[in-house]
Amino acid sequence: MQNIENDIRSSFMNYGPNMLVGKDEVAFDGNYRIDEDEIMYVIMALPNDFNDVANNAINIPVLDIQTDKIKALFWFEGNTYYFQNFDNRKMLRHRNVLFYNNQTFDKLTSNAFIVDNGVSAIYEDGKFYFPTYPNANKIFSLADFYHAATNEDLTTFGAHNCVSISDPEWFLESNSVIRKQVTLLQKSALLDDADTKQIKKSAKKFKLVMELDGVGKIVFPRNRKACKEILFFLNENYYVGLITKKHYRTNSKRVVDIEQ
């Protein structure tokens, strides 16, 4: 049993502590893809189920591999939680699993699961750190920090006094890219005090076609690519290079905090 515990600890501790070493922390908002020397984080509290981990581990229920659903595996050490996401592919239940033993193959007859060598996320000092959103979201829902717009959100967006949706029913069939951009635009509230005529004028500098209706609302046509480009522009993903003055579009940006 001690050997197994040491092996499992190594699966986490050989990788986890290095995840934060030399990394710049970037607050996650759903609109930034990190570089190799960066790590995203959100400020959050762990669920109450973790209260017994540090102080009363004996009170934690024993896993019933037959019925319990595993969302993630974790190792706790030094006031830090090291998480590894988990899915059904790692569960060896009712499968023909063979292993090599004493120069022959034996069949695994008991239920089991796989512990990978690696760490998907870390929780430390009130921050949940992760390199990729999809893996982190499988461990804890990050819906409070970012979510793709629901149909209700799209309908609300279409009712904004600066927005005109040419085909509301078609717009409700939007893909995840458009839904993400709508979420970011609603979160920023950038359109609330916007001058749509000035926005259209600025869009022309990037040869972006943007039309206004009779009352000055931005028209989102029945064209997925056009809607996506308009949303990218409204989310300020178009910019002019400070040195070359060339025009660019990015799908990832980060606010620069310039201290005076």
pLDDT tens digits for range 59-115: 777 777 777 778 888 999 999 999 998 877 776 666 666 666 777 776 666 777 778
* Secondary structure (H, E, C), 113-160: ECCCCCCCEEEECCEEEECCHHHHHHHCCCCCCCCCCCHHHHHHHHCC
pLDDT at 220: 97
Burial of 256 (0-12, 13-18, 19+ CB in 10 A): exposed
Question: Could you tell me if 9 and 91 lie in one domain?
Answer: yes
Q: How far apart are CA 227 and CA 4, in angstroms?
A: 54
Looking at the domain assignment, is residue 256 inside a domain? no
Q: Tell me the average pLDDT across 124-135.
A: 92
Q: 24-38, 151-165, 189-203, 218-232 — which is least confidently predicted?
A: 24-38
Last residue in a domain, options 139, 173, 206: 139
Residue type, 3: N
Question: Could you tell me if 87 and 170 lie in one domain?
Answer: no
Helix 196-204 to helix 224-234 angle, to the nearest 10 degrees? Answer: 110
Last residue in a domain, options 114, 139, 164: 139
Question: Could you tell me if 184 and 234 lie in one domain?
Answer: yes
pLDDT at 187: 85
Question: Could you tell me if 82 and 160 lie in one domain?
Answer: no
pLDDT at 134: 86
Q: Record the pTM.
A: 0.65
Last residue in a domain, options 78, 111, 139: 139
pLDDT at 91: 67
Looking at the domain assignment, is residue 258 inside a domain? no
Looking at the domain assignment, is residue 229 inside a domain? yes
pLDDT at 2: 63
Start-to-end CA span in the chain (Å) = 58
Looking at the domain assignment, is residue 260 inside a domain? no
pLDDT higher than threshold 90 for residue 29: no
Question: Could you tell me if 50 and 11 lie in one domain?
Answer: yes
> What mean pLDDT is reported for the chain?
84
Yes or no: say if 162 and 217 are a contact pair by the CB < 8 Å rule: yes
pLDDT higher than threshold 80 for residue 249: no
Looking at the domain assignment, is residue 145 inside a domain? no
Residue span of the structural domain in which 173 resides: 151-249
Among candidate residues 148, 131, 119, 176, the one with its CA nearest the CA of residue 30: 148
pLDDT higher than threshold 80 for residue 16: yes
| Torsion angles phi and psi, residue 162, rounded to 5 | -110, 5
Question: Could you tell me if 211 and 131 lie in one domain?
Answer: no
pLDDT higher than threshold 70 for residue 158: yes
pLDDT higher than threshold 80 for residue 235: yes
Looking at the domain assignment, is residue 254 inside a domain? no
Helix 224-234 to helix 176-188 angle, to the nearest 10 degrees? Answer: 30
Looking at the domain assignment, is residue 257 inside a domain? no
Question: Could you tell me if 130 and 183 lie in one domain?
Answer: no
Among candidate residues 224, 254, 251, 256, the one with its CA nearest the CA of residue 237: 251
Q: Cβ contacts of residue 37 below 8 Å, gap of 6+?
A: 22, 23, 24
| DSSP output for 87-100 | -GGGEESS---EEE
pLDDT higher than threshold 80 for residue 207: yes
Structural domains in the chain (count): 2
pLDDT at 210: 94
Question: Could you tell me if 10 and 127 lie in one domain?
Answer: yes
In 3-state terms, what secondary structure has residue 15? coil
Angle value at C-alpha 32, between 46 and 246, nearest 5 degrees: 170
User: Look-up: residue for tokens 């990978």?
Assistant: 116
Question: Could you tell me if 163 and 233 lie in one domain?
Answer: yes
Looking at the domain assignment, is residue 144 inside a domain? no
